[in-house]
Structures are given as C-alpha cells and as structure tokens.
A and B are shown apart, each in its own frame.
Chain A
Amino acid sequence: MNWWSSPASDTQVTHGDRFWLYVVASIIMLLLVLPTFIVIPMSFSDSQYLEFPPSNWSARWYEVYLGSTKWMRATATSVQVGIITMLVATPLGTMAAYALFVSGHRATRALFLFLITPMIVPVILIAIGVFYAYGRAGLNNTITGLVLAHTAMAIPLVMIVITAALRSYDLNQERVARSLGATRVKAFFLITLPQIRFSVVTAALLSFLTSFDEVIIAIFVSGGVNATLTKHMFSALRDFIDPTIAAISTIMVLVSTVLLLLTQFIGAREK
C-alpha cells in the first residue's frame, strides 16, 4: 500500500489519513452530479416513457428532437436570445465594472450592489415584475423583451468577473499610456482590454449560458413562436412525458459543460 502511506501534500498528511475526507467528498460530488447525469442513459432509452435504467437502447428520441420543427424553432430562439444577450450584456457589464472600478467615488459600492440585485432578488419576483411591465410595454412574447430581461440577469455576472480581473490589474498602466499620448479610450483598448481579454470572453460565455439556461422568466414572458427551449421543455414535462426531454437535457448539459470548461481553461491562461 505505497499510495496509502505516501504524503498527500507538502505536509506529512498521507492519503491514508485523508481516507474519510475522500469518501465524504466523493459522496458530495456524486450527489451533485447524479441528478444531472441520470438523464444521459435515460435519453438513450427505447421506451415510450422515462425509464431508468433503460431496458433497450436507442437514439430514436434524438431523431424525434432533431426532426421536430417545434423543438428546432425553440432551440433557434434560445440560441438567438442567448447570443444577443451575450452581445449586449458583455460590453454593458464590462463598462459598468470598469467605471465603478476607476471612479473611486463614495457611491460606487451602493451602485455595484444596485446593479447586481438581479442576482440577489428571487428570479420569480423579477419574472412577475417583468411580465406586468412588459404587458404594458407590449414586450411579452418578443425576442427584445426576453433579451432585455436576460441582459439584466447577465450583467451582474459580467460585472463580478470583470471586477475580479481589474483587481489584479495595475491601473497605473493606463495612466502611463495616457502620459505617453493615448486618450482614455485608446488607453483602455490598447492597454487594459488586451490584458483582461480572457475574463471578457469568460464573461461573454457566462452571459450566454445565463440566458440559454434561464427558465423562469422565459415561462412568463416568452411564448408562441418566440418560446425558448427551456420553456418548451417545461411545458412538455407538464403535459406529456417522453424521453425527448431527456435527449434535449443531455444536449444542454453537454453545451453547458463545454462552455464552462472553456471558461475554466481561459481563466487559467490569464493567471
């Protein structure tokens, strides 16, 4: 049992000493991911119903998903809203984070908290509020409405990621650039942005995911031809349950995982 008695870190603690730590950590990790991954085998079932473990294997539910205009349109809506949200929230959130970071004004803390409230307030409250406001503005069931609401949800994430990046950045670099002849805007684009670019990309991916995974607001304000994938999935779960849901879930898990892994890799490069 060489591994068992070898040190687990720079200290004298061995892997054997950490046995129970490993057990507990494994259980927690399993509990976290099992509910997610259980849909993967279910999606490959031959059965009409959700079944675990599946008695017969088949990819027929993927064919159903890919062959259904309804599901395809919903997917297109989700991707479209996700991309527009990303394109709107990333620059806005970056600008807000930058402004609050450099200003040093007394009110910046309060403003920061104000801008990240969408993260703190229960989403259902936002959804209800947005639904009534949109009712008046005629924005329910529109792409614009959905993008606006999702942008509000994504901006806090962008701000947090960008603020963290700016904290480890020496703002004197911008000052030097300005003394050397660059305007503020040039100093930002030539000096600051290239150094926080990985964080900006991370923030963009997170904004896309925020929108793509979002269901509660979508249930309230999206519908008809502009219903999102998540909204359709929710309705499908309520009305009739078949393994198409599992197939779609698997695809979504895949997309989310890939994007999150991407942000991790990108984050590691910036360090």
Chain B
Amino acid sequence: MASNNNSGSGHDATALPIHISSLTKKYGDLYALDSVDLEIRSGEFLTLLGPSGSGKTTLLMAIAGFNRPDSGSIRFGEQEVILTPPHQRNVGMVFQSYALFPHMSVAGNIAFPLKLRGVSAGEIEERVTEALETVQLSGLGERGIDQLSGGQRQRVALARAFVFGPRILLMDEPLSALDKKLRERMQIELKILHRKLGVTTVYVTHDQREALTMSDRIAVINHGRLAQVDTPEVIYNHPANAFVADFIGESTMLDLDQDKAGNLTYKGSKISKPPSGGNADGWSLVVRPEHLSIMANGKASTDRTIVFKGTVTETVFQGETAFSIVAIDDDTELLVRFGTGSKAKSTYPQSGEQVSVGLGRDDAILIPREDQP
C-alpha cells in the first residue's frame, strides 16, 4: 500500500493525500459537520461509515466541492481547495444513482472527461478501450446506457470516474442499488481495482459489512463528528466508544461496577481490571455474539473464562450459523452465535433451558461508559 504522506512535495504521482482540519458545516442550528479533523493518506481506501444523517455524505460532498463548509480547511496534498470549484478539483466521482448520461453511448460517457480536457481523438479511443478493459466491459463501448444491466452501469460509472487519471476517487454508496450477490462481488472487484489504480479513495457507506470488507481504514462518523478512525480490525475488536461498538457488528453492552480493590465487576462477579491508562467515570463491557459460547453442563469457570448464567429464550437457525437468545436477567439478553457445521438440530439449546454462557477474558472489550449515547 502507498506510504504515508510525509508532508512536502514528494507524494505519489498517482495519488494525493487529503488533509481535513476543523471542517464545520451547519444547516440551520444543526451541525452536519462539527469541527472534523481527518488525515486521508495517499493511496489508501478510506470509508466514511455512519447512519443516515451522520454527515458522511456532507463530508464527501465538501471534498468534491459541491457544498462549501462554513469554516475549516481541505487540502489535496499541499493545495488548499476549499474555494476551488468542483471542475477544477480533478476528482473522480461515482454516485449511488450512477448518473450516467443517457444521451451518450458507453464510450461517449467514458470519453466525456477526456474531451473536456482536450485529449486528441486517437488517445481518447485508446484510453476508453483500456478503461473498458479494466472494468471488464470490452466491446460494449457502442452500447446505449439503457441496454446495460445494473452491474454494467456501475462499471461504466467507475470507468468514467478514473479514465482521466484523477489522484482522488470519491464514491457515494455506489453499490447500494445492486442486489446482494452482485454487491458482494463488486466489493471485491472494487478492492482489486483500487489496488491496481493506487488512487486515494474515499468511500461512503452505511453498510458496516461493506466497510469492513473493503477499507484500509474506516472513519466512523456520527452527528457530524468522527467517532473513531482506524483499521477495520481495530474498529471491530477495539471500539473506542459505545456508538462504534453498537454500530459495528452485533453486541450487547453491560454496565460494570467497580469493587473496593478497583476491579470491574458485573453483578458481583469479577470481570477484569480497568484498562491501563483509561480514565473514565465508569466502564461497560461489550459482548459480541460470536465471542460467546454455551458451556456444556454449566462447567465450572476457569480463570480464562467469564461465565454468565441464564435461560434460553429462543434459538434461530440462519444457515451457516445459528444464534440463541439467552436472558441473563429480567432486562438483559445475550446473543450467542455458534456454527451449525455438522451439529444436529436436536443438540441446539432449547427454549427454557438453563445454560451457562462463557466469554474468553481476551475477548472482553471494555469501553468508557456513557450515560445516554
């Protein structure tokens, strides 16, 4: 992957870093972006992930130049672009709706940015052919847009966005209009394409699985602020706060108490020591379904395992995995996910069964407690 940007003039020819600092955008009294600082590295695939209305699209549009922030700075490499109009930013863009030009052929669409740049006819033809090859649409150049399938349109939109060699590529939920199978295939293809082009890519999605699949880094955004920026593994395994823990993956959050010795406890049983260097009023334990397992005959806890006792409410089969809902007290339920493999259905936990649920101590995720998110 491309090296970090070491500020100065020596950046990659194919990619540019994006430096965003104290970017603020208000709509009325609402902060769509609240003093956002974000360093997007040269050549990386960064995903802006958040629920609808979180500000992720506002941020993308600010990078593209379609809305002007109230304050702050956006630099492409060393160049401040906050006042640069979109057509001078040299940024490739793919929209959710594809926004292909229906009055032009496939080749016409892809040639559009080249024509605007005064590229010669011979070179246009060469580069369009090459771009079509890259997105595996060779020979379809003369087709009309209405003769293409959803997946093909997506590829044309992509080819049009990178054919002129932009050093930054922006994508606004480009796969959300495709069906699940095609979407999953395109995710892998986009990843491969990104590696091939080496261009700095900012990708917006509300689909956490998509973000985890494709990204070098994920910026989780909520209420116009960055909740956490890190690699998919860190975001998933070490969420920095309750929002990230809740938004990414399935989880149950348990509020912990602290005993006199300083250990964190849940309902009187010791969970762990507080994280070193942590400085919070209280701590919560994030429990992921796949980290839990139902223990045979409520076998005694070892030192490596935290045990919860509860009653199975329901067990649901979902194909490659199944999960049980286990009520550990009146208003707390844990989800326990397990592989189905060759297990017979009759061995699944039955509703009403008393079970012990184990959590490996290494899998215990602690986050600072928040009263109301």
- A interface residues, Cβ below 8 angstroms from B: 170, 172-173, 175-183, 186-187, 190-191, 194-195
Contacts and interface: CB of A to CB of B under 8 A. Distances in A.
Given A172-B95, A173-B101, A179-B92, 12 more contacts: A175-B64, A176-B93, A176-B157, A179-B86, A179-B87, A179-B161, A180-B87, A180-B113, A180-B116, A181-B90, A183-B85, A194-B103
B164 interface: yes
Interface in B146-163: 157, 160-161
A181 B65 CA distance: 12
A266 to B, nearest CB: 15
B95 A186 contact: no
A176 B99 contact: yes
A178 B99 contact: no
19 contacts: A170-B99, A173-B99, A175-B93, A175-B99, A176-B95, A176-B157, A176-B160, A177-B112, A178-B65, A178-B85, A179-B64, A180-B112, A180-B113, A180-B160, A180-B164, A181-B117, A181-B164, A182-B116, A194-B103
Interface residues of B, number: 27
A189 B90 CA distance: 20
Contacts of A194: 103
Nearest to A186: B116
Given A172-B97, A179-B89, A180-B164, A195 B116 contact: no
A187 B113 CA distance: 11
B302 to A, nearest CB: 57
A176 B100 CA distance: 8
Contacts of A172: 95, 97, 99
Interface in B311-370: none
List the 10 closest pairs (A to B, CB-CB), nearest first. A180-B113, A172-B99, A179-B93, A181-B116, A178-B86, A176-B99, A173-B99, A172-B95, A194-B103, A178-B87
A177 B66 CA distance: 12
A176 B95 CA distance: 8
Contacts of A170: 97, 99
B285 interface: no
Contacts of A190: 112
B102 interface: yes
B91 interface: yes
A190 B100 CA distance: 13
Contacts of B66: 175, 178
